[in-house]
Amino acid sequence: MSAPSNGTGLREHVLLFSRFLRSPRTVGAVTASSRALAKAMLEGLDLQGPGRIVELGPGTGAFTAAIVERLGPEATFLAIDVDPEFVRRIQTRWPDVTCICESAESLAAIVEARGMLPVDHIVSGLPFVSLPPLVTRQILEGVTTALRPGGTFTTFQYLPAYGLPSAVSFRRSMTARIGSQPSARLVMRNVPPALVLTWRKP
């Protein structure tokens, strides 16, 4: 697969900002994620083998680009976004990437229908801090159902929002569901700085 852009150019920033203005609860960011954040999101993940990788909320493709660069020829990769404009952009820039316009709430059913169970790694750019609690709960149920034992779920939270009740509630809920504490990596080279969180299913 080719990777013509890392998803952090001016066009991507403009597109993300315009989609944020239209739907701030589902987009949740006004600028594209940095290369440093994308690199941290994939740190420690083996994408070279015949694994199954799912990206939730690829947006403009900052994490998608990093995944494509590392993806082995036998790996299966699926991106899921609820915004049709983001889906169209991903499909145009990476024709070999399967990106579908669906809600992450249906994650377990989507991967089962595509013969992708169990999933090895789930990488998420979804704004869980701003999503309705019921939506978040349904997504996390899907994540824990879809992951294989030993599989990982990686997401991030912006540092200024890390202490918000919704952010704390999300971390507690994910930890309780998956049965393990997350590892955390601070990424200062992002606007704003962010903490990358990775849970591994026991």
* pLDDT tens for each residue of 54-93: 999 999 899 999 999 999 999 999 999 999 999 999 999 9
Query: In DSSP terms, which residues pair with 147 in a beta bridge?
Result: 119
How far is it between the farthest Cα atoms of the chain? 42
What are the b/e assignments for 43-72, b being 16+ CB within 10 Å?
Answer: eebebeeebbbbbbbbbbbbbbbbbbebbe
Instruction: Report pTM.
Output: 0.86
Q: Confidence class of residue 191 from pLDDT cuts 50, 70 and 90?
A: confident
Residue type for position 83: D
Give CA–CA dist 156/173, Å, rounded: 15
Burial of 21 (0-12, 13-18, 19+ CB in 10 A): exposed
Q: Are 80 and 100 in contact (CB under 8 A)?
A: yes
Lookup: tokens for 95: 């024709």
Q: Tens of pLDDT along 134-167?
A: 999 999 999 999 999 999 999 999 999 999 999 9
Q: Confidence class of residue 33 from pLDDT cuts 50, 70 and 90?
A: confident
Give CA–CA dist 154/134, Å, rounded: 20
Which domains, from first to last, does the chain contain? 10-200 (3.40.50.150)
Lookup: tokens for 127: 């704004």
